[in-house]
Amino acid sequence: MRPALSTARAGGQFAATLLAATLLAAPAIAQEGQLPHPGWSFSGPFGTFDRAAAQRGFQIYKEVCSNCHSLKEAYYRNLEGIGLSEEQVKAVAASVTVPTIGDDGQPAERPALPSDHFKSPFANDKAARAALNGALPPDLSVIVKAREGGPDYVYGVLTGYGEPPAGMKMGDGMNYNRVFPGHQIAMPQPLQADQVQYSDGTKPTLDQEAHDVVTFLTFIANPEMESRKQIGVKIILFLAMLTGITYVVKRRVWSDVH
Amino acid sequence: MAGLHKSDYKNPVVNWIDTRLPLFTMMNKEYAVFPTPKNFNYFWNFGALATVTLLLMIATGVFLAMNYTPDSNMAFDSVERIMRDVNYGWLLRYAHANGASMFFIVVYIHIFRGLYYGSYKTPRELLWMLGVVILLLMMATAFMGYVLPWGQMSFWGATVITNLFSAFPLVGNAIVTWLWGGFAVGDPTLHRFFSLHYLLPFVLIGVVFFHVVALHITGSNNPLGIDVKSPQDTLPFHPYYTIKDSVGLCVFFMVWAAFVFFAPNFFGDPDNYIPANPLQTPSEIVPEWYFLPYYAILRSVPNKLGGVCMMFGSILVLFVLPWLDTSPVRSARFRPIYRALFWVHVVACIALGFVGAHRPEGWWVVLGRVATTYYFLHFLVLLPIIGKLERPLPLPESISRPVIPPRGGGGPLPGGAPAKPMEKP
Ligand code: HEM
């Protein structure tokens, strides 16, 4: 029962924040652990994915995150959902080689197809840990569904790096993060301002980059979202009408009962 | 006694079948002309809603099972494939996952309706007990279904709950190993849970059938809790209650659809989108919301075996409720003290739900213990006593001549019949 839990927790957090704010009057403490709410194109019952943002987000995933994080539940063909053409998707897939078995029965390589899953950066978890100082980067396919706070949380992690407060002892190879539970994260700050060059002229600030990649990851976690909401609106309208009609009929049928 | 049925149906084909297997006559008798008290309120919709939900759970479940793989290495990915590759797979899965929550909401309202209007009292004891069996089967089904996506909560929920059996002395650990099919929750556990998750809903259908048969023997209770006295008190089920149930069904579908299409993961735990990892315990292991009150009772008792017994006892006590409540008056409308206690009990149950969602620390422990104590006090002490002490309000003479207007629910009007023990039909 996460809803009640999180409401109750939010309540507790609110009270704690209030307490901290009044007792210590230290805004830095109130900041810690709180999620930013940047506002998303896809929230609400009519929300859709901002195509341009999602495409920029894909660029960030490809150029930055994909060095460490897999996206293994997703397919290259999913990219059509953020506005890439069939040809563009083919080209994206073809730029990657995937293992296969050749006609001679020996392991070989071939260019990926749109029907292939995104290629993972590491062969397995052990290889990832070996390359990353023992830390394991989670698969990002459903990351926004797998964290309390969803997109706000992932955005918060990406923008939450900074200097640790005085006196905080950081573990070896760990980085301070305001949002990550425990505030010590093994992932080095992945995004900085001007990390990438956007071809559409958007200014690559840190906030912009985080916003874009989270839009992309939310799409990857919920590729059905737009059609789900569209169908939902129709179904709710239909059911509302049906409820009205049924209720009128019910009143008619019952009119002779006293 | 053998012999052909004399059918009244004009249509020759229908007549031919009905003569040999009187299904049409039976449906007509039980669902069309069936005399039903005329004063039902909308709380009497929930039985129909539960039946429809069960059927939809089976329908969506069968299609999910066509695409689901019960293997610990593939289960998580197969669910993701249902969400991404199967046509409308996301709809099937979200309808099924939210359907489980809808099912429990509906059944809990159905049960509290029974508690308020005294539907468990004679002659409906067996009907009520079959209902408790349904609740237990639903819980087992939902618990095993939640294990199937093989996320972190699936795995650790299964581990915590199956481990409860280890509390039993001597045989405890052997039982747990037997349940798991190994020395930890693993592949054999997932396979058998899938098999049972597929089986139990059909057992449920069987129990629901007997639940309805028993209902049609005793007839329905009603908001006044008094017996049907004459045909003036009843209406044929069709069209009066078919249409009234349809209204409820439309509203219910709207609520269900709102979750499926706009907040499909509202009832879910984010941790269950992390693949199961036996080496990493989640920071908090929380069951689905519909199990939280029992979980709270479990954790309120300092002794493990005691907690397990109290947890199961909280449901088993419902089996003997018909004999714990000593009042002959059914409806809480005419039982001022019981009515107040009923609401205290509702508050206690909701409080237990909140307690179950929090770590057992500080005030939550106190609240959990107080609410647990009240839960049992209510059934085991208060109900037997107040049945004897309480002075019920005067009961109306009949449903069609209610001394108390059925809607207003105010005080008794002059000329009311004095309270008398429950009449035998
Ligand atoms: C009493 C009726 C039922 C209840 C209460 C129930 C409950 C559940 C629950 C809570 C889940 C986990 C959903 C999730 O978080 O993903 C689930 C999954 C599943 N159920 Fe059921 N279920 C019922 C009937 C059935 C039936 C009859 C079948 C098959 C014929 C079935 C097949 C499945 C399958 C394949 C899954 C795994 C896919 C998934 O996780 O979405 N269910 N069920």
Q: Could you report the per-residue pLDDT of A62-81, keeping only the tens digit for each? A: 999 999 999 999 999 999 99
Question: Does residue B126 sit in the same domain as residue B230?
Answer: yes
Band of residue B407 on the pLDDT scale cut at 50, 70, 90:
low
Between CA B217 and CA B123 the distance in angstroms is 10
Q: Render pLDDT for B49-98 as a digit per residue (tens, 0 to 9).
A: 999 999 999 999 999 999 999 999 999 999 999 999 999 999 999 999 99
Question: Does residue B261 sit in the same domain as residue B303?
Answer: no
Q: Is residue B400 part of a domain?
A: no
Q: Say if residues A66 and A104 touch (Cβ distance below 8 Å).
A: no
- Structural domains in chain A, sorted by start: 34-74+117-245 (1.10.760.10)
- Mean of the per-residue pLDDT values of chain A: 89
Question: Does residue B85 sit in the same domain as residue B103?
Answer: yes
Q: Is the pLDDT of residue A28 over 60?
A: no
The fraction of chain B above a pLDDT of 90, given in percent, is: 93
Q: Looking at B277, B304, B319, which one is the last position of a domain? A: B277
Band of residue B1 on the pLDDT scale cut at 50, 70, 90:
low
Q: Is the pLDDT of residue A9 over 80?
A: no
What pLDDT is attached to residue A33?
A: 60
What pLDDT is attached to residue B401?
A: 79
Both tokens of B370, joined, read 């107080």
For residue B405, give the 3-state DSSP assignment: coil
Question: Does residue B61 sit in the same domain as residue B141?
Answer: yes
The secondary structure of residue A121, as a DSSP letter, is: S
Q: Say if residues B75 and B69 touch (Cβ distance below 8 Å).
A: yes
Q: Render pLDDT for A83-122 as a digit per residue (tens, 0 to 9).
A: 999 999 999 999 999 999 999 999 999 999 999 999 999 9
Question: Does residue B295 sit in the same domain as residue B247?
Answer: no
Q: Is residue B17 part of a domain?
A: no
Which residue in B18, B233, B245, B390 is the catalytic one? B245
B390 catalytic residue (yes or no): no
Q: Say if residues A112 and A96 touch (Cβ distance below 8 Å).
A: yes
Closest C-alpha residue for ligand 1 atom 17: B145
Rounded to the nearest whole angstrom, what is the distance from the C-alpha of residue B141 to the centroid of ligand 1? 8
Q: Looking at B235, B252, B277, which one is the last position of a domain? A: B277
Between CA A98 and CA A110 the distance in angstroms is 6
Q: Is residue B222 part of a domain?
A: yes
Q: Looking at B254, B277, B300, which one is the last position of a domain? A: B277
For residue B245, give the 3-state DSSP assignment: helix
Residue B123, preceding bond cis, omega within 30 degrees? yes
What pLDDT is attached to residue A258?
A: 77
Beta carbons of A1 and B289 less than 8 Å apart? yes
Band of residue A6 on the pLDDT scale cut at 50, 70, 90:
very low
What pLDDT is attached to residue B404?
A: 52
Q: Is residue B401 part of a domain?
A: no
Question: Does residue B301 sit in the same domain as residue B259?
Answer: no
Question: Does residue B150 sit in the same domain as residue B292?
Answer: no
Query: In Å, how far is A37's CA from the nearest CA of chain B?
Result: 18
Q: Say if residues A139 and A71 touch (Cβ distance below 8 Å).
A: yes
Q: Render pLDDT for B118-136 as a digit per residue (tens, 0 to 9).
A: 999 999 999 999 999 999 9
Question: Does residue B226 sit in the same domain as residue B318?
Answer: no
Question: Does residue B291 sit in the same domain as residue B382?
Answer: yes
Q: Is the pLDDT of residue B155 over 80?
A: yes
Q: Render pLDDT for A177-189 as a digit per residue (tens, 0 to 9).
A: 999 999 999 999 9
Rounded to the nearest whole angstrom, what is the distance from the C-alpha of residue B194 to the centroid of ligand 1? 9
Distances in Å between the Cα of B321 and the Cα atoms of A64, B211, B255 are: 63, 17, 32
What domain range includes position B257? 30-277
Q: Does B145 touch chain A (CB under 8 A)?
A: no
Q: Is the pLDDT of residue A4 over 50?
A: no
Q: Is residue B402 part of a domain?
A: no
Between CA B189 and CA B175 the distance in angstroms is 13
What pLDDT is attached to residue A34?
A: 80
Beta carbons of B243 and A250 less than 8 Å apart? yes
Q: Is residue B142 part of a domain?
A: yes
What pLDDT is attached to residue B403?
A: 55
Task: Enter the ipTM.
Answer: 0.89
Question: Does residue B263 sit in the same domain as residue B319?
Answer: no
Band of residue B24 on the pLDDT scale cut at 50, 70, 90:
very high
Say how many domains are in chain B: 2
Question: Does residue B104 sit in the same domain as residue B238?
Answer: yes
What pLDDT is attached to residue A1?
A: 37
Q: Render pLDDT for A184-203 as a digit per residue (tens, 0 to 9).
A: 999 999 999 999 999 999 99
What pLDDT is attached to residue B419?
A: 45
Question: Does residue B181 sit in the same domain as residue B317?
Answer: no
Q: Render pLDDT for B340-377 as a digit per residue (tens, 0 to 9).
A: 999 999 999 999 999 999 999 999 999 999 999 999 99
Between CA A119 and CA A100 the distance in angstroms is 13
List the CATH number of the domain containing B253.
1.20.810.10
Percentage helix, strand, coil for chain B under 3-state DSSP, each rounded to 5: 65, 0, 30
Q: Which of B38, B244, B261 sits opposite A228 (nearest CB)?
A: B261
Closest C-alpha residue for ligand 1 atom 23: B57
Q: For ligand 1, is residue B335 a contact (CB within 6 Å)? A: no
Q: Say if residues B337 and B391 touch (Cβ distance below 8 Å).
A: no
Q: Is residue B14 part of a domain?
A: no
- Mean of the per-residue pLDDT values of chain B: 94
Q: Is residue B23 part of a domain?
A: no
**Could you say which residues from 78 to 137 on chain B have a Cβ atom under 8 Å away from some Cβ of chain A?**
80-81, 83-84, 90-91, 94
Beta carbons of A73 and B77 less than 8 Å apart? yes
The fraction of chain A above a pLDDT of 90, given in percent, is: 83
Q: Is the pLDDT of residue A29 over 90?
A: no
Band of residue B405 on the pLDDT scale cut at 50, 70, 90:
low
Rg for chain B, CA atoms, rounded = 24
Q: In sequence order, which residues have a C-beta less than 8 Å from that of residue B162 and are 6 or more positions away?
A: B176, B179, B180, B185, B189
List the CATH number of the domain containing B300.
1.10.287.980
Between CA A243 and CA B42 the distance in angstroms is 14
Burial classification of residue A182, based on how many CB atoms lie within 10 Å of its CB (0-12 exposed, 13-18 middle, 19 or more buried): exposed
